[in-house]
Structure 1
């Protein structure tokens, strides 16, 4: 994978297709490949005439993995995303984030609205504001000596996922400490770009999409039928709604 440098870290990315650029920001313990390539998102977007750009967030995939929690606040990770756009000479892009990636997209849209044409917050509803209640259990699960020691269902789920992807569990634990920083309700109200808030109907981690969409000046809500947090990622309803949303809100952005 090609790489770029930001804040002293070397981060990996991938760039596919031609057309208006869509930056895809993956979720916690995932990677650009797992979140976006393996689920068919890159193929879907490039097939629809978009340029699909994925990145491995700091602490994940093929990117550098600091063990310092101070390196993982969402505002810092949003700066990584902007730095990638700078590296690729892209002035403005649509941003599609999932779970932690949606939180990063929100901070990006708040601090750099001129760089974000529109955004999709997948797997992130009102917990953008309320925070993640299972975070400390996930941290304990990542640092536990063995999976057999864990009983908390969410902790087990993420430990299994981290082991499956060969992740640096200490880097992920550090990331979980600070990347779940909530966004202030008043700041959410100041995100002026069009936003689609898409959450699985059975998602118990994200919070409801409707109240978050109501706070956003140009927010829309989507409930993805019969999907939980993990299984909503590559859902066909989610993809179709995102393409329709991009077609309405992103059609006037030139290819980069």
Structure 2
């Protein structure tokens, strides 16, 4: 792991392989190892001749754990990604994010278009525009004294996953309080790079990928068959579709 000081915040990242660079941004309560390493993405991309940069979002993995919610505005998270691209002198990169990482990637593309060559949004459909919902229950679960004290099913699932990944639950709660900002359709319409949107067929979290695709000019959509939000990440069809998209993109 390498480290970058992004506006005074320590950001950890992995930089492996050679070739055209792709920046990977993981989902909420995850990290680069769980989201991209254990699922095989890093290996697949490296075998395809790509230089892989996988960051740990602030509050996650080996990056700084901050308990001030204002430190987790999506603009700040996208700014960390932009600073990483500059730190490595990459110019423009392909960007891939899953779930929260897809939200960050979309904000990065809108706010820092000079950094992005193409965008892959995984596990995020119209929730990017309308919001996900249920965030308050997740925050309450993350701040609960123990897993046994949580009765909300969704909140309990997030708390359990956070504990499995060895996360700082207070930092995650702070992140969830504010990192839920959305993009308006008119902002999405400004995106002028190739975009792939991929969501699991049984994903009840992400919202409609087809509808999201109507707001992004020329967006390509892919339904990941028989997968929900959690199980879609490592799906072979998702990986194959992404590799094909990267080959075909302008």
Q: Corresponding residue for 2:15?
A: 15
List aligned pairs for 1:23-172, cutoff 5 A: 23-172=23-172
> 2: distance between equivalents of 1:21 and 1:176?
29
Q: Corresponding residue for 1:198?
A: 198
Q: Is 27-36 or 179-188 further displaced after alignment?
A: 179-188
> 2: distance between equivalents of 1:203 and 1:75?
26
> 2: distance between equivalents of 1:122 and 1:73?
20
Task: List per-residue Cα deviations over 1:185-222 (Å, max 9, x = no partner).
Answer: 21111111111110001111110100101110121111
Task: List per-residue Cα deviations over 1:58-111 (Å, max 9, x = no partner).
Answer: 000000011011111111111100111111110010000000000000001001
> 2: distance between equivalents of 1:206 and 1:43?
26
Contact 1:214 1:220 in 2 (8 A): no
Runs of 4+ in 1 over 3 A off after TM superposition: none
Partner SS state of residue 95, structure 1 = strand
> 2: distance between equivalents of 1:146 and 1:3?
32
Q: Corresponding residue for 1:6?
A: 6
How many equivalent pairs are there?
Answer: 250
Name the TM-score, length of structure 1 as normaliser: 0.96
Partner SS state of residue 151, structure 2 = coil
Offset at residue 40 of structure 1 (A): 0.4
Contact 1:93 1:116 in 2 (8 A): yes
> 1: distance between equivalents of 2:201 and 2:147?
28
Contact 1:16 1:53 in 2 (8 A): yes
Contact 1:224 1:238 in 2 (8 A): yes
> 2: distance between equivalents of 1:68 and 1:188?
29
Q: CA RMSD in A?
A: 0.8
Partner SS state of residue 90, structure 1 = coil
Task: List per-residue Cα deviations over 1:153-212 (Å, max 9, x = no partner).
Answer: 211111001011111101000000111111112111111111111000111111010010
